[in-house]
Every structure is written in structure tokens, then in C-alpha cells.
Amino acid sequence: MTSREGSTRGFWALIVTQFQGAFSDNALKALVTFLGLALAATHAERERVVPLVGLLFSLPFIFFSMAGGWLADRLSKRAVSLGVKIFELGIMAFAWFGLRHEHLPMAFAAVALMGVHSAFFGPSKYGLLPELLPEHRLSWGNGILELGTFLAIILGGAAGGLLYQQFKGRYEHAALLLLAFAGIGLAAALAITRVPAANPGKAFRANFLGDLFSQIGRIRRDRILWLAVLGNTYFFYLGALILQNAILFGADTLRVDEFRTSCLQAALAVGIGLGSFAAGCLSGGKIEYGLVPLGAIGMTIFSGALGVPILGYRAALLLLTLLGFFGGFFIVPICAIMQHRPDRKERGAVLAAANLLSFVGIALASGVFWLLRAADLTTSQVFLAGAGMTLAVLLLLSVLLPDAFLRMLLWGYTHSLVRLRVEGGEHLSAAKGALLVAERSTFADGLLILAATDHPLRPIMARRLYDRPWIRLFAKSARALPCAPRALREAGVALREGEAVLVWRETGAAVDGEPSAWERRLGRLLGNSDVARIAVQIDAPSDQTGRRRLLFRARTVRFGRPTPRPHASDRGVVHTRG
């Protein structure tokens, strides 16, 4: 078996392991919740059961996520996965004893222990993806993982209710089934590909809050990574707010029974799963940043649509599904960024911090929901408030990451009017910093190069093109540099920071009458550093008359193999076009 086949098998083993864990988490939570409601002696006790179960499951993520991140870096992530599955066998045996005797405190403790299990598994689970899959399949892998997770949440919650009904008075039989499922999860974890420990010498910090703030400080040094962590936190915050509101929306506004109310929550989860899968498939073998604003736009629209007072039940199901679908578009590239950008030795700690902050977002959603309801907002108005919050996030994103909106437009363009093919993209992905040298072409072709890669890119453009009003907006969004000495300095900084710089080459032509000066500048850009030089070619499809066709045709962007120095044959002049 080749290493690639082994990694693919290991990836699917991880998916099965994660599916089983999420399924069992939610099945046990639902089973214990129904048992708690049945055994509650007073109305006040009954009212406390649902939030108590949710709190018991969530608190371990706050207290143990950082420890899980340390284990994910200190040990092999496969070994951690095996350890938590063995731990789950013990938890389900403990749950069996509590359910057999209908001992509610033990059943509650089992839910909390499953929270500990999931808190330790989370960083290893997400950290395994970039170790099992190549970068160009990372978004696809995240889409599959999120689809499986949300399907497991839905099926697990439904299974918990079914187990309660089928084994009423004989709950230990339900626990035996969950124990058997834990065994299946352990068998799947054994099939995960063996991976080495990322940082065997990493020291443990008992102060998880100090560890969290220290990790946040390191994350903030990478602006894109920090924004991704914040986006991940907001996603879980909004999801928790919508899910809590959906319960009262079904009961108070739509006036439907408990089963139909559960279907409203399931519709959101199904939408997220389907949207995640679609986003992974539509990312084109890269991290598609443009899907983030597209997802935020969809979440804003459909959350706002849920605020229409005359909404019917079927319309609500459809809108919640669409809201979740665009939520999947929003979260998949964010997850891929958090897995790809951190250093391998710190990846587990970064994912642990993101995991912890996501549960801070969930807890914050509970407080915000209580405040909104205390302010006498109806459930429809809470949906409108969620739309307003997401719109604010969207506007903030347009300021902090304007190139994400340009990438959104390019994604739409290359999935409708033009079919874009990319060859040799792995050459650019493997380079920390790269000087891309393309043949003379058009501004539109420069945008195609931008659409062909998720690598941070700084095009250098001629000043006369950059200053045109209709181009300037796109140029700024693309982080283009106008041709000037200052642009060369900024390009040098970008190369040293691992970004790519795009210039245009036209052999034998002069730029600003100084061909020799541009040759020297090109040499200084490469200097004595490890910056690679990569040639880029774009095909120019034409119709039968020989005229170029820009629409409704396949376009191919080819990245050549990197060379560390410009050869003598390449000592032409860099022509800075857009």
C-alpha cells in the first residue's frame, strides 16, 4: 500500500471515529435529558434539567481543551485518538451502572465525562487532517468532516430519544448499545494512519487560562489566523443563538409540537452539513477565502428572512436549512486556515485555543439570548438581531480583508463564465516566498492568477493602469502595488514574510526606459534569500476566427517548477502590467 493510499484510508478511519464520537455524545445527552425530565420531582427541577445537561457537557471544553492541545502536540495524534476511545469505553461502562440503577447524578457525571473525552479529542481530530491529506484536499476534507459531524449530531439526538422510548425502565440496555458503539469507534481509530509526534519536548502548563492567553498572543502575530479564530468563535456563537431561539420559535411563534420543533433544529444542522460538503467540493483544491463573505451574506439574508412575522412552518424549515447551508460555506475555509497556517509543532495548541474560544462563544450566546428575551424581543426579532450582528461582521470583514470579497467575485466568475484549470499549483504551495513571473497579458489574466491560488499574492502594476478609477478599486482589493521604488521595497518585505509577488515579463522591452535597472531590481528581489522564481503561463483560447474568447471557455493557469535564481536566459525585463 502506498503512503497516499494509507493516508486516504486513515482519513476515512478518522471520519468514522469522529462520527461515532459525535453520535454517542448526543445520544447519551438526549437519553440522560429525558431520564432527568422523567425523574424530576418538581417543576423547578424539570426546568433545570436541559440547561444543566448542556452546561455539564460544555464546561469540560473550557477547562480541558488546552490540555488536549498539549497532548496533540506532545504525542502522536493517532495515539491521543486511541486513548480517548479507550477512555470512552470506561465512560460508557460507568454510564451503564448509573442508568441501570436510574442514578441521576452518575448519569449526569457520564455526560460531563463525555465532554472531557471530546475536549481532548478535538485538537487531535482537526490536527490530523493536514497530516493525512495534502493541502489541496484540505477544504474537501473539512467539508466531509463537518458533514459527518452534523449528521452524527442529528442522528445521535434522535437515537437518544428512541433509546429512551424503547428501553424505558431498562436503560442499561441502551448503555450497552452505546458501549458497543464505543468499541466500533476504537476499531476505527486503530485504522488511522500512524503519524509522528509534532513536538515531543513540549512542556505542560497546568494554568489553562495562562496557556490560553499565551497562545492567543502567538496567534495574533498571524493576522489571517487570528481573524479565522475569531470567525470560528462567531460561527459557534451565532449557531448556538439560532438553535436556542428555534426551540421557542417553534413552540411560541409557529405553535408546533416538540417533534416539529426538533425538526427545526435538525434543519439547521442538515444545512450546515450539506453546505460544508458543498464548500469542500467547490473550493477547487485550495483554501477558498471567497466563500467566507459569501457564507456571511447568505447567513445575513436568511436569518433576516426568518424574522418575517407571517412565516409558516415549511418556509421556516427551508430558511433554516439555507441559513445552515451558507454557514457551511462560512466555516469550511476558516477551519482549513486554522489547520494550515500554524506551525506543525504548535498546531494542536492553536486548535485547542480555537476549540475553547468556540465554547466561550456558545456560552456568550446563552447570555445574549437571555438579554434579548428579557428586553421583550419576540423570537422573530431575535432572528433579525442575528442578521444584524452578521451584517456587522460582514462590514468589518470588508474592511479587514477586502481581498476576500474580490476572491468571492472571482470564485463566482470562475464557476460560471469561465472554467478555470490550474496546473502545477503545488509548486507555489510548497514555496514560502515566490516571485511569479508571467508573460505579458491583460488585467483580467492577472485576476485569473489570483483566483488560481490561495497563496498570499501581491501583484505589481504599471502606475497608468493602477490609477484608472474602474481598476483602482479591484487593484486595492487585490493588494496590488503601483510601479514605483516604494513598491519594490514592499515587495521585498512581502517575499521575506512568505508571500508571493507577481510581475509581468516582456523580453526585449523597456520599462520607464531603464531595462538594466529593472534587471538589477529583479536580482535584488531574489537576492541571496530562499525566494523561488516561478514562471506562470495562461492560455489564450480563441474562436474559429482567431479572436480571443474570454467568456464561456476553459482557461488554464500553469505554474512552473521553482528555480532559486534567474537564469541568464531569463534576464529580460520585468513588465509591470495588471
Give yes or no on whether 1-204 and 210-416 have one common fold: yes
165 backbone dihedrals φ, ψ, rounded to 5°: -70, -45
- Residue type, position 50, single letter: V
Segments in 375-401 forming alpha helices (H): 379-400
Candidates 3.60.15.10, 1.20.1250.20, 3.40.50.150, 2.40.110.10; CATH matching 1-204 = 1.20.1250.20
Three-state SS at 449: helix
Q: What is the pLDDT of residue 295?
A: 97
Q: How far, CA to CA in Å, does 548 sit from each of 238, 429, 446, 506, 575? A: 47, 30, 16, 20, 22
The string over 337-366, giving b where at least 16 C-beta atoms fall within 10 Å of a residue's C-beta and e elsewhere, is: bbbbbbeeebbbbbbbbbbbbbbbbbbbbb
The string over 519-531, giving b where at least 16 C-beta atoms fall within 10 Å of a residue's C-beta and e elsewhere, is: bebbeebbeeeeb
**What angle, 0 to 180 degrees and rounded to 10, lies between the N-to-C axes of helices 402-414 and 379-400?**
100
- Is the separation of the CB atoms in 38 and 206 below 8 Å? no
- Is the separation of the CB atoms in 436 and 491 below 8 Å? no
Q: What is the pLDDT of residue 75?
A: 93
Compute the distance between CA of residue 450 and CA of residue 403 in angstroms, rounded to an integer: 10
Give the torsion sign (CA, 60, 65, 67, 68).
Answer: positive
In degrees, rounded to 5, the angle at the alpha carbon of residue 536 between the alpha carbons of residues 472 and 495 is 65
Q: What is the pLDDT of residue 526?
A: 54
**Topology of the domain covering 417-575:** Glycerol-3-phosphate (1)-acyltransferase (3.40.1130)
Closest CA to 557 of 407, 479, 453, 442: 453
The DSSP symbol for 415 reads: T
Q: What is the pLDDT of residue 551?
A: 56
User: Hunting for cell 523580453 — which residue is that?
Assistant: 507
The string over 162-177, giving b where at least 16 C-beta atoms fall within 10 Å of a residue's C-beta and e elsewhere, is: ebbeebeeebbebbbb
In degrees, rounded to 5, the angle at the alpha carbon of residue 380 between the alpha carbons of residues 379 and 383 is 90
What is the C-alpha radius of gyration for the chain, rounded to an integer number of angstroms?
26
The DSSP symbol for 193 reads: P
- Is the separation of the CB atoms in 82 and 190 below 8 Å? yes
Candidates 1.10.630.10, 3.40.50.300, 1.20.1250.20, 3.40.630.10; CATH matching 210-416 = 1.20.1250.20
- Per-residue model confidence as pLDDT tens for the chain (578 residues): 444 445 688 999 999 999 999 999 989 988 888 888 888 777 777 767 777 887 888 889 889 999 999 999 999 999 999 999 999 999 999 999 999 988 899 999 999 999 999 999 989 998 999 899 887 788 888 889 988 888 898 888 888 888 888 888 888 899 999 999 999 999 999 999 999 998 898 888 888 888 899 999 999 998 889 999 999 999 999 998 898 888 788 878 888 876 787 788 889 989 999 999 999 988 877 888 999 999 999 999 999 999 988 789 999 999 999 999 999 999 999 999 998 888 888 888 899 899 899 988 888 888 888 888 888 899 899 999 999 999 999 999 988 888 888 889 889 888 888 888 888 887 777 667 788 888 766 667 778 888 888 888 888 877 777 778 777 777 877 788 887 767 777 877 787 777 888 887 653 333 343 333 444 565 555 555 567 788 888 876 554 554 555 555 778 888 888 876 544 444 443 444 43
Element (H, E) at 199: none
Compute the distance between CA of residue 481 and CA of residue 494 in angstroms, rounded to an integer: 11
- CB atoms closer than 10 angstroms to residue 5: 10
- Is the separation of the CB atoms in 167 and 155 below 8 Å? no
Counting every residue written for the chain, the total comes to 578
Q: What is the pLDDT of residue 567?
A: 45
- Is the separation of the CB atoms in 277 and 267 below 8 Å? no
Q: What is the pLDDT of residue 527?
A: 57
Three cell numbers, residue 279: 464548500
Report yes or no on whether pTM surpasses 0.95: no
In sequence order, what are the beta bridge partners of 535? 437
Compute the distance between CA of residue 340 and CA of residue 142 in angstroms, rounded to an integer: 12
Q: What is the pLDDT of residue 274?
A: 93
Paired sense of beta strands 481-482 and 434-439, if any: unpaired
Closest CA to 435 of 367, 347, 531, 343: 531
- Residue type, position 515, single letter: P
Q: What is the pLDDT of residue 555?
A: 82
Domain boundaries, the chain: 1-204, 210-416, 417-575
